[in-house]
Structure 1
Amino acid sequence: MKHFMRKFSGFNKSSILRILSIAAGGSGIFYANNYKEATVSVSIPEPLRESLSLPWKIGERTDKWQFGMLPLFSLSAGSTPSSGEKGASAVPESSPKQCPGCLGRDSISSAAARVGPAVVNISIHQGKFGIGGGKGIGSGTIIDKDGTILTCAHAVVDFHGARVASNGKVDITLQDGRTFEGTVLNADLHSDIAIVKINSKTPLPTAKLGSSRKLQPGDWVIAMGCPLSLQNTVTAGIVSCVDRQSSDLGLGGMRREYLQTDCAINPGNSGGPLVNIDGEVVGVNIMKVLAADGLGFAVPIDSVTKIMQHFKKRGRVVRPWLGLKMIDLNEMIISQLKERDGTFPNVKKGILVAMVTPDSPADRAGFHPGDVVVEFDGKPVESIKEVIETMGDRVGEPLKVVVRRPKDKLVTLTVIPEESNPNM
């Protein structure tokens, strides 16, 4: 310290105070090492910037300190070293771009701004001149410039006799105030997905479709729409579950999967987009649990994309039906089943047949409760999802299925899927 003060003996009291103020303001600690030349930069509060005429420069290690000009910029804790340097290098706060999928200060607002203009309000019975008076029944998203709108089926068709869209027509209101008459082109009640079309002579805003397969529990998402006819509403939350089964929710019929989120969803949000923080649509919001908060559900966009492909190909969704109730197996379940029944097949993975519907394609093919499906259409399988993906829309086409039965009996069956009843 004495050595340090001797070097500053030539300065008056005012100069020394200024230097100490700079050091205190930047909260910096400086030291010399075996570097031939190094520049030290600190972040200085606004009141002290006018007195910055004495920054520091360390010269050749000679036990002597020298003075030079001090370049000033913010010292960031998250800065990264420049190429070729091992030490950390300060980077201006405004220079780095936010990485895809990272949550930053403006992530949610930026994502909402990208998708917001393409979110529409769907209503019926508009008032005079087509302005106001419309009873909001749902939301939707414009997904291409020709006016295709993605929404939910129960908002635009007679689901249970509660709402009827007159002659397949609904009223569409954009965020910028423009109104259109929309035509319901396709609707699938099983998945609760529908397509509405509007025609516009002026350009329409659109939203980009992402991928729901990339989502993980804990990822941030945004629910957008018009709850209670309140347009331009944005709520945020996280993904609670990426593969919530319809059976988990007590819903009958064929197997369906949902994205579960804790975003605030209310009547009128139905059909609106679920958006990731990159501004991509990853789901269609369709329902919430009325008796609980933070339990909302959306159809994954990957499933929606397949449904839209069916719409374009046949005008409806074709689903093969086998008549099987199955359970995915894992090591723990298999171990437990073997403890209960010593004749249970010696398998490490597969799909357990829990029930066979009488007079179904599976029943006629010879499936039995307790069979373990290990191959489907010549491919090893270990999940129901793989079976569904393999079948696709192959109705009436024979499929070979290999099952293992008690005492490791291997049996090959031939099943011919039928088209499912959409009301099942």
Structure 2
Amino acid sequence: MSYFLSKLVRFNRSSVVGAVGIVSVGSTLLFSDDDTRFRTFVTARLPLPSQDASLLTLAVPNDLFPPHLPSFGQHGILSLSSYRVGPGSSSDISKEASGAVHDGSKPCGCFGRDTIANAAAKVGPAVVNISIPQDFYGVTTGRSIGSGTIIDKDGTILTCAHVVVDFHGSRSSSKGKIEVTLQDGRTFEGKVVNADMHSDIAVVKINSETPLPDAKLGNSSRLRPGDWVIAMGCPLSLQNTVTAGIVSCVDRKSSDLGFSGLPREYLQTDCAINVGNSGGPLVNMDGEIVGVNIMKVLSADGLGFSVPINSVCKIIEHFKKSGRVIRPWLGLRMLDLNEMIIAQLKKKDASFPNVSKGILVPMVTPGSPGDRAGFCPGDVVIQFDGKPVESMKEVIEIMGDKVGVPVKVVVKRVGDKLATLTVIPEESNLDL
């Protein structure tokens, strides 16, 4: 130990950190012993430009995990049913949020030390805590906790359906009295306006005599893997929580997560989200909502999933137009083709159609609209409603909510034969 201390006199002022490191290591090496009475620890305090918050380890009671939340399949996917930012004026964040020079040193568009805080401050006042008492024969046994975001000053709140409703087949019913708490402490009673089981998106309404803070919706199609995002909400009943991470994948398929049924896509992030984050917003660095946090992988860290805000906007349009989400059904299993898949299929069967792109139909449901229209397994869809297509996403966008409307489809078959089919979509039955 004396050897290491003697070296301190030779270090200049800039080497203090290195010296402390040597002293710490030296003390550990020289005084390590199985008997804790003889252990020596060297603690050094250095002046730093910022101070980190203390890390607390909490023993979480079991009742913070609502029993109604399911885990899905072998992947252990868990829905996340269970945020006060420091005060900051809009003038404090306007320059940095717009990419203006900050303190004369940060060039436009650069990520600065206040970028995340500024984005959180923009959305924070609109993030709410949603709490619903869970009753058992009139006795309150716990509370279902979730999050939400005010997207309109009239009190329209965007959240997850599993936070506020129970589903029975295609029907839904409210879980009970919905208590909505704002960042400023005000509490309102909420009412479920619309809810969709398949997408797990719901709209809740509260009434206020004064305009409420709202958040701006962004564009999730502009996200790229590696983009910074923040998750906001009420994890484990810890209100007003902000965590940061990056976008891991912009189009994670529901099939990748072990989900069957109609195809869905999620944003995958490594933001820390837990039970209670459900319904909370995923926010970009411009302070815009780009997703709704919905679930995480139970047995892993850094694997969280959100519904892209562009998909949510389409769901909201359906709510406004029809009061529910209308999904046309053709009864066709579809697969997007690429060069590699086409080469494999050609190698297996030389008579496979000569195409460079398109959508393969490997299976047709008996008695479905596609079956009645004359689709056959092995058909390759190249045109849908008069438009060239190469992905299922394009077909879904073209169909929209057209139920009962005839659609002409051009397919290419074995031997490069072309066929024009007319299919009449039906509304999908999610109970099946």
Q: Are the counterparts in 1 of residues 134 and 144 from structure 2 also a CA contact under 8 Å? A: no
Task: Report the Cα distance in structure 1 between the residues aligned to 2:299 and 2:416, rounded to whole angstroms.
Answer: 47
Higher Cα radius of gyration = 1
Matched, 1:305 2:296: no
Look up the match of 1:327.
335
Match among 111, 114, 117 for residue 106 of structure 1: 114
Task: Report the Cα distance in structure 1 between the residues aligned to 2:406 and 2:255, rounded to whole angstroms.
Answer: 28
Normalising by structure 1, what TM-score?
A: 0.74
Cα deviation, 1:290-328, whole Å, max 9, x if unaligned, reads 011111100000000000000001100101000111111
Task: Report the Cα distance in structure 2 between the residues aligned to 1:173 and 1:299, rounded to whole angstroms.
Answer: 23
Normalising by structure 2, what TM-score?
A: 0.72
Q: How many residues align?
A: 326
Q: Are the counterparts in 2 of residues 258 and 297 from structure 1 also a CA contact under 8 Å? A: yes
Paired residue type of 1:120: V
Equivalent residues in 2 for 1:66-145 (5 A)?
A: 94-95=103-104, 99=108, 102-125=110-133, 135-145=143-153
Change (3 A) 1:93 1:113: closer
Task: Report the Cα distance in structure 1 between the residues aligned to 2:393 and 2:108, rounded to whole angstroms.
Answer: 32
Q: Are the counterparts in 1 of residues 228 and 245 from structure 2 also a CA contact under 8 Å? A: yes
How big is the alpha-carbon RMSD for the aligned residues of Structure 1 and Structure 2? Answer: 2.1
Off by >3 Å, runs of 4+ in structure 1: 95-100, 163-167
Query: What SS does structure 1 have at the residue aligned with 2:319?
Result: helix
Cα deviation, 1:164-184, whole Å, max 9, x if unaligned, reads 7445x4110011110000000
Question: Alpha-carbon deviation of 1:99?
Answer: 4.1
Cα deviation, 1:94-117, whole Å, max 9, x if unaligned, reads 2367645x4221111110111011
Look up the match of 2:189.
181
Q: Are the counterparts in 2 of residues 310 and 317 from structure 1 also a CA contact under 8 Å? A: yes
Match among 354, 358, 382 for residue 350 of structure 1: 358
Look up the match of 1:250.
258
Q: Are the counterparts in 2 of residues 261 and 297 from structure 1 also a CA contact under 8 Å? A: yes
Question: Alpha-carbon deviation of 1:159?
Answer: 3.6
Matched, 1:387 2:395: yes
Look up the match of 1:152.
160
Q: Are the counterparts in 2 of residues 136 and 229 from structure 1 also a CA contact under 8 Å? A: no
Cα deviation, 1:20-62, whole Å, max 9, x if unaligned, reads xxxxxxxxxxxxxxxxxxxxxxxxxxxxxxxxxxxxxxxxxxx
Change (3 A) 1:138 1:250: same
Q: Are the counterparts in 2 of residues 124 and 165 from structure 1 also a CA contact under 8 Å? A: no
For structure 1, the 5+ residue unaligned runs are 1-90, 128-132
Query: What SS does structure 2 have at the residue aligned with 1:213?
Result: helix
Task: Report the Cα distance in structure 2 between the residues aligned to 1:384 and 1:320, rounded to whole angstroms.
Answer: 13
Task: Report the Cα distance in structure 2 between the residues aligned to 1:364 and 1:138, rounded to whole angstroms.
Answer: 45
Match among 281, 289, 299 for residue 297 of structure 2: 289
Look up the match of 1:220.
228
Task: Report the Cα distance in structure 1 between the residues aligned to 2:196 and 2:374, rounded to whole angstroms.
Answer: 31
Task: Report the Cα distance in structure 2 between the residues aligned to 1:164 and 1:410, rounded to whole angstroms.
Answer: 49
Task: Report the Cα distance in structure 1 between the residues aligned to 2:351 and 2:382, rounded to whole angstroms.
Answer: 17
Task: Report the Cα distance in structure 1 between the residues aligned to 2:188 and 2:107, rounded to whole angstroms.
Answer: 37
Task: Report the Cα distance in structure 2 between the residues aligned to 1:93 and 1:234, rounded to whole angstroms.
Answer: 23
Query: What SS does structure 1 have at the residue aligned with 2:131?
Result: strand
Query: What SS does structure 2 have at the residue aligned with 1:120?
Result: strand
Question: Which structure has the higher relative contact order (CA within 8 Å, separation 6+)?
Answer: 2
Q: Are the counterparts in 1 of residues 166 and 175 from structure 2 also a CA contact under 8 Å? A: no
Q: Are the counterparts in 2 of residues 289 and 296 from structure 1 also a CA contact under 8 Å? A: yes
Paired residue type of 1:95: G
Identity %: 76
